[in-house]
Amino acid sequence: MDRTDPGGPDGASVVEVKTAATAALIPTIRAVASDLAARADFDLDAISDLRMAVDEACATLVDIAAPGSSLRCAFSVHDERIGVEAEVDVAAPDMTVSTDTFGWRVLQTLADEVELVGAKDNGRPTVGIKLDKRAAALPR
């Protein structure tokens, strides 16, 4: 499912993608991220970083997804940044993503901001990763 909403929060364009929570479909979401960043005039390094961050976030979530659940990814395209919110349903409310792993460190390096989010969606426990990537790298 793909939906574009030009009247998103703060005037952002919002694109939502929903797939089965399987590793085989992550390249589709990664391609959407890359295309949105290119259309928003991100530089090549920022496009690559966003693509890899989305890949890592989705792979991390697919690993803990409940059997038969969906991977939902929403992209908020702003003038100078893209926000990404990816989430999956999990089997138990106490399931989460470890933030002391190499994969989490990769996410922190590739994205300008990253955070773990958990919520209940229609009574189902969910786990999500929220990240932001700016169009051009800021000096560190």
pTM: 0.87
Confidence class for position 10, pLDDT limits 50, 70, 90: low
- Reply yes or no on whether the pLDDT at 8 is more than 70: no
Dihedral sign (CA 85, 59, 113, 96):
positive
In this prediction, residues 6-14 reach a mean pLDDT of 68
Q: What is the pLDDT of residues 102-135, one digit of tens each?
A: 999 999 999 999 999 986 656 789 999 999 999 9
Token pair of 50 as six digits: 């966003």
119: in domain: yes
140: in domain: no
Looking at the DSSP bridge assignments, the partners of residue 115 are: 130
CATH (domain of 58): 3.30.565.10
Token pair of 15 as six digits: 């694109």
67: in domain: yes
C-beta separation of 70 from 100 below 8 A: no
139: in domain: no
45: in domain: yes
Looking at the DSSP bridge assignments, the partners of residue 113 are: 132
93: in domain: yes
Confidence class for position 2, pLDDT limits 50, 70, 90: very low
**Domain with 116 in it:** 2-134
Confidence class for position 26, pLDDT limits 50, 70, 90: very high
Strand segments (E) across 6-139: 13-20, 70-77, 81-89, 113-121, 124-134
Token pair of 37 as six digits: 């960043």
